[in-house]
Amino acid sequence: MRIIVTGGAGFIGSALVRHLVLERGANVLVIDKLTYAGNRASLRLCEGRTGFAFLQADIADGSRMRAAFSEFAPDAVMHLAAESHVDRSIAGAAPFIETNIVGTFRLLEAARAYRDTLAGKAKDAFRFLHVSTDEVFGSLGESGAFSEKTPYDPRSPYSASKAASDHLARAWWETYGLPTIVTNCSNNYGPYHFPEKLIPLIILNALEGRLLPVYGDGGHVRDWLFVEDHVRALVAALERGRPGETYAIGGRSERRNLAVVEAVCDILDGLVPDGDGTRRRLITFVADRPGHDRRYAIDASKIERELGWRPRESFEGGIAQTVRWYLDNEWWWRPLRQGVYDGERLGLLSGHAASRSASSRSASSRPTEGEG
C-alpha cells in the first residue's frame, strides 16, 4: 500500500511509520511540519529504507497538499498531524485552530480532489483515516465509559479543535462520499514520547532527582494504552473499518495519575536506585489544570468485536518497557530536554497559579503533566 501519514514525526505517528515501513513493507510518505513536537530522530530506523519518504510541509498549505497527493498517488491517508498538548492549548489556542481544524479541512479537500481523479477499484478502496482522541467526549463521573455513541462535550481548546476536525471528517463522508473513518483513542504512552507529557516527564524528572509535579489531588483517571497497541488498532481500522464509522480505542487500563507516577518511581527504584530511598519522596501536588477533566474511560467493544483488535500489552508490562527505553535512549531525549522544552509550566491562568501547599510552590514552575 502507498500511505500518506501526516504527523509522522510525532509520538504516535512515528510509531505508526516504523510499523508500516519496517514490519509491513508499506510505501509511506510522511508529511510533517516539524513543530516543536516533530522530531526526525524518531524516524531514524526508517531513513534510507526503500518505501520511506519525508516531506516537511504544513497540512494547512492546500496547494502543497494537492501537489503531494498527485505526486505520491496514495491508496490511503492516515491523518495524525495535530497540536496535541492540552496545556499549550490553554496558553494559546491559535495553532490548534490552524492545524487541527483548518489543516484538517485543507487535507480533506486535497484528498477529495485527488480521489476524484481515480476510477473504479482504486477510487472505491481509497481511505482517509482521521485519528482523534477520547477527550472530545468530555469528562466522566465515577462510573461508565465513552463509546462511539457518547455525545461530544469537549472542554479544552485542544479537545474542541479535535471535535471540530472529527465533525469535518464525518461531513466529508456524508456530503462528498470521501471514505473517512474516525478513531477516538485514550491516552497513549511508550517510547519516543515528547517529555512534556506525564509519563516521560515523570521518568526524566525522577532520573534527575527533580520534583514530580502531580496536578490537583492526583485522582484524575485516564485509560492508558501502549502506543504500539494503538498503532495496530489504526491499521485494523484502515484495513477493515467501514467508511463513515467511528471506532473508540482504549486499553481497559484505567489508572489514577498518582498511581501512574508511583509506578514509574517504583520501576526506577528497582532498575537504578539513587541511594536516597524511594523516589516517591519527590512527588509534589501542584495547582490543578483549569477545566481538568476528571475521568476518561473507553468501551472498546466495537473495535474488538468488528475488527478483532485487542491490546496486547498490559499497563504493567508497557510501563516497564517504556521506563527501560528512556534509560537506554538518552541520545533521543537529552537534546529535547536541553534545547526544545526545558520543563516550564504551561497553561496556568492567573488566579490558578497558587500552588496547593508550601512544598508544591517550589514545584509549580517545574514541568507538569500533560495529556492528549
In this structure, what C-alpha cell is assigned to residue 201?
516527564
99 forms part of the interface with ligand NAD (CB under 6 A) = yes
Among 3, 4, 5, 12, binds ligand NAD (CB under 6 A): 12
Neighbours of 88 (CB within 10 A): 21
Any catalytic annotation for residue 134? yes
Residue type, 153: D
Give the β-pairing of 254-256 and 221-223: antiparallel
Alpha carbon distance 2, 52 (integer Å) = 10
Among 17, 28, 76, 82, binds ligand NAD (CB under 6 A): 82
Among 3, 4, 5, 13, binds ligand NAD (CB under 6 A): 13
Q: Residue 239: what are its φ and ψ, rounded to 5°? A: -80, -35
The DSSP 8-state label assigned to residue 134 in this structure reads G
Alpha carbon distance 165, 105 (integer Å) = 7
- Crossing angle for the helix pair 315-328 and 257-271, nearest 10 degrees? 50
Footprint of ligand NAD on 271-310 (CB under 6 A): none
Alpha carbon distance 336, 367 (integer Å) = 13
Closest approach, Cβ 197 to ligand NAD, in A, equals: 7
Q: CB nearest ligand NAD: which residue? A: 10
58 forms part of the interface with ligand NAD (CB under 6 A) = yes
Out of 134, 229, 262, 369, which one is annotated catalytic?
134
Q: Note the Cα 265 to chain centre separation in Å.
A: 23
Query: Contact letters (x/-) for ligand NAD, 346-365, by CB under 6 A?
Result: --------------------
345 forms part of the interface with ligand NAD (CB under 6 A) = no
10 forms part of the interface with ligand NAD (CB under 6 A) = yes
188 forms part of the interface with ligand NAD (CB under 6 A) = yes
Stretch in the footprint of ligand NAD (CB under 6 A) among 127-135, 203-211, 250-258, 351-359: 127-135
Which among 365, 358, 345, 363 has a CA at the least distance from the CA of 86?
345
Minimum CB distance to ligand NAD smaller for 89 or for 364: 89
Stretch in the footprint of ligand NAD (CB under 6 A) among 35-43, 270-278, 296-304, 358-366: 35-43
Closest approach, Cβ 162 to ligand NAD, in A, equals: 5
81 forms part of the interface with ligand NAD (CB under 6 A) = yes
Among 150, 159, 187, 360, binds ligand NAD (CB under 6 A): 187
Which among 10, 6, 61, 14 has a CA at the least distance from the CA of 35?
10
Alpha carbon distance 182, 140 (integer Å) = 21
Out of 114, 158, 215, 296, which one is annotated catalytic?
158
Phi-psi region of 120 (alpha: psi -120 to 50; beta: other; left: phi over 0): left
162 forms part of the interface with ligand NAD (CB under 6 A) = yes
Based on its alpha-carbon atoms, the radius of gyration of the chain, rounded to whole angstroms, reads 20
Closest approach, Cβ 265 to ligand NAD, in A, equals: 21
Question: Which residues neighbour 63 within 8 Å (Cβ) at sequence distance 6 or greater?
Answer: none
150 forms part of the interface with ligand NAD (CB under 6 A) = no
Out of 32, 135, 245, 371, which one is annotated catalytic?
135
3 state SS of 120: helix
194 forms part of the interface with ligand NAD (CB under 6 A) = yes
3 state SS of 368: coil
In the complex, the residues that contact ligand NAD under the rule CB under 6 A are 6-7, 9-13, 31-35, 37-38, 58-60, 80-84, 99, 103, 131-133, 162, 185, 187-188, 194, 372
Active site residues: 134-135, 158
